[in-house]
Amino acid sequence: MSENHFRVIYEGPSVEDGEMEIGQLAPSLLALGKLVEALDMIATGETGRVRVLVRPDPKPGSFDIGLSLDFVHSVKAWLLSPEVQAVGALLTLLGLSGKDLAAGLIPAVRWLSKRHVEKKVTLADGNVRLEVNGGNTIIVLPAVARAIDDVAVRQQLEKFTEPLRQEGLNAIRFKDDGGVQEQITTADAPAFTASHGREPTSQATFQATYQIKRLYFERGKKWRLSNGTQSVLVHIEDQSFWKRIDAAEVAFSADDYLVCEVRMDQWFDGAVGLKTEYVVLRVLQHIPAPKQDRFVGT
């Protein structure tokens, strides 16, 4: 990417008119700024060296934001260090430059989806080989190897990609004058949750009946279900159920019910507290909502 400028483009039906809800945009951009700061701190050991500046330029068909990295005085010494050689160093660490043979943060986190890092090996060139279960490997930048285990980094990645878990958005693209450099889609979104890839501290599987409150036909988005007293967001992992949806074998109406086999995963971290996620492993039965009988004379 040229100099220190790049663009973040939010795409989907809800932003086709060039407008985006501030409740979606503001937390996402704020998280991106904090992500850059956290990544810079991991790479350099210093804080308060970089800011992300916004240059709004909404365009029809998407919500296109111009951004730039604003460095303070001490940045020059870091830019001359062996690890990084240009103002775009943080963009390289994010995975947006495409110039380094080792992966940046965004492609590395996407690749690690549902994989557990079993071993980290520092190579002769300083890059790090991550070895996961099954014998697969990926080469990442040294700071990225540290960042993928950093709570603050993973939290900000989750917040930045949160619009993809909501209705109306299906992709976030990073772009410069040369074209799209990287993108995160709705299908990628689960990989960017803070707890993804970590072993739960507790786990339980049970059968339950839920009423559908909000559903999405895009994989990666969470459905909102209610058990009558509690409303929860769930991932639907039942592939046979998705195939039935794709084949139009399932028709939904308001307030239908699902009888499900559900897994509840919980993580505890001193920095974030207790986090609970629900996964529908199998949809055992789809029950259409009861229809009100017509009264006599109507």
pLDDT in tens, 228-240: 888 998 989 999 9
Least confident of 16-20, 129-133, 287-291: 16-20
Among 192, 214, 233, the domain boundary falls at 192
Does residue 297 fall inside a structural domain? no
pLDDT digits (tens, 9 = 90+) for 13-38: 888 777 788 888 889 988 998 898 88
Give the CA distances from residue 9 to residues 6, 67, 97, 104, 247, in Å, rounded to whole numbers and listed in that order: 10, 11, 16, 19, 32
Q: Among residues 279, 170, 281, 286, which one has the least CA distance to residue 235? A: 279
Among 192, 219, 253, the domain boundary falls at 192
Q: Are residues 178 and 221 in the same domain?
A: no
Residue 146 or 274, more confident:
146
Q: Give residue 221's domain range.
A: 202-287
Which stretches of the chain are DSSP H helices?
A: 22-44, 75-79, 89-94, 105-111, 142-147, 151-160, 239-246
Q: Are residues 253 and 111 in the same domain?
A: no
Among 192, 226, 260, the domain boundary falls at 192
The total number of structural domains in the chain stands at 2
Q: Which residue has the tokens 């994010």?
A: 94
